Amino acid sequence: MIRSDIGLSAGTLNLFGFPEKWVNLVMTCMSSVCTSILWNGEKIECFHPKQGIRQGNPLSPYLFVLSMERLGQFMNDEVQNERWKPFRVGQSSIRLFHLFFADDIFLFCEASGDQAKHVRRCLDRFSMVSGLNVNLTKSKVFFSSNTRRGRRREIGDIIRMGSTNDRGKYL
């Protein structure tokens, strides 16, 4: 089940300029879901989930993408207000602070306690608004080789994630 706050979805759809009639239709689809299950071969009475939509629901990937776009906007606000210091690619003016791919998120910032606090605050804000949470057991921090060990521990403690030296393989 994808847990998503209906308020975030309606707010996000309105923010992106979807027509009111369409927003109401989507919200009705999300709030009128009735789920029934078989228990020991018997069908149990239908119940209404309090939050979220099933992953198989055709709306699910679209609402997830819109939610991630909202997270991107939260992060962009931090960058625009010069609180989040993005990673600079080489000597160029390209500033990289996030990449979204499928259901993975890569975040980039300066390796400092202050920056870790901004990242944590942004993720916490998104979690409060959306009902979606970062899976901290699956999440890791990758540091450049010149980041001191003490700084790595400090940052890991702030954002509550372990670190790794393995960049892994992606596609």
Question: DSSP letters along 28-57, please?
Answer: HHHHS--B--EETTEEPPPB--SS-B-TTS
pLDDT band at 50 (very low <50, low <70, confident <90, very high): low
For residues 139 and 169, the model is more confident at 139
| Residue pLDDT, tens place only, 108-154 | 999 999 999 999 999 998 888 777 788 888 888 889 888 999 999 99
Q: What pTM was computed for the model?
A: 0.72
pLDDT band at 55 (very low <50, low <70, confident <90, very high): low
What count of other Cβ atoms lies within 10 Å of the Cβ of residue 56?
A: 7
Cα(83)–Cα(16) distance, integer angstroms: 25
